Amino acid sequence: MIGRPFELIIFDCDGVLVDSEPSINRAHADALTACGYPITEQELVGRFCGMSDAEMLGIIEREWGRRLPASYTEQVERVIENEFHRSLAAIDGVAEVLEQLSLPVCVASSSSLKQIRLKLELTGLLARFGESLFSAAMVARGKPAPDLFLYAAQRLAAAPQGCLVIEDSPAGIDAARAAGMTAVGFYGGSHCRPEHAARLQAHGAALIIADMRELMVAMATLA
């Protein structure tokens, strides 16, 4: 059977299931620049892709030596949600792949649980995952720490060595490897530049794919 010896497939959300990274990073880049911390969308992707907003903003505030406005998070989330309602789309081919998979699947994302649900609802993917949604807010440390992936595996009674993680960020690949899991790097999101594939490989992705429809072959190769 395709996928042996895997017993659970763990998907990141942003940039893996839904093509949300451009909207997220554009909103933060605009808001941070307006606050007096000039940064571009691509700089945010390069430095913070895979991290939670709280971790990213904490790093920025420490480097900047200033606190962001108390209303920052609420305002940016409103901009992002409005953009999602207008244009968020699933990653090309992901719905087709999810239909083919017979193994248990879950989502483990740095986003909040509310955001994960919204993105999957808007793109028609939520039913495939049910309640198997895990947020970095549920654990002490987000990616690149292994906590979130280990928590998801524990909740679904899967051994870490039997888990396959699909990630688009170096932080996510680091987290998967630290958890003792196999990682496939995905670089087909619209935020990925040509060097993104090499970055995922450098962080230890067992295989890299540019098209989600390549996942079935990747799983067979890794088995």
Tens digit of pLDDT for each residue in 114-139? 999 999 999 999 999 999 999 999 99
Q: Does 46 share its domain with 116?
A: no
Residue 112 covered by a domain: yes
Q: Does 70 share its domain with 113?
A: no
Tens digit of pLDDT for each residue in 25-52? 999 999 999 999 999 998 998 899 888 8
Report CA torsion sign: 138, 142, 146, 149: positive
Find the CATH number of the domain harbouring 184. 3.40.50.1000
Element (H, E) at 207: strand 207-209
Question: How does residue 223 score in pLDDT terms, banded at 50, 70 and 90?
Answer: confident
C-alpha span between 133 and 152 (Å, rounded): 8
Tens digit of pLDDT for each residue in 159-216? 999 999 999 999 999 999 999 999 999 999 988 888 999 999 999 999 999 999 999 9
The parent domain of residue 199 ranges over 8-19+89-222
Whole-structure pTM value:
0.89
* Measured CA angle at 11 (ends 89, 192), to 5 deg: 55
Structural domain total, the chain: 2
Tell me, what DSSP letter sits at residue 158? -
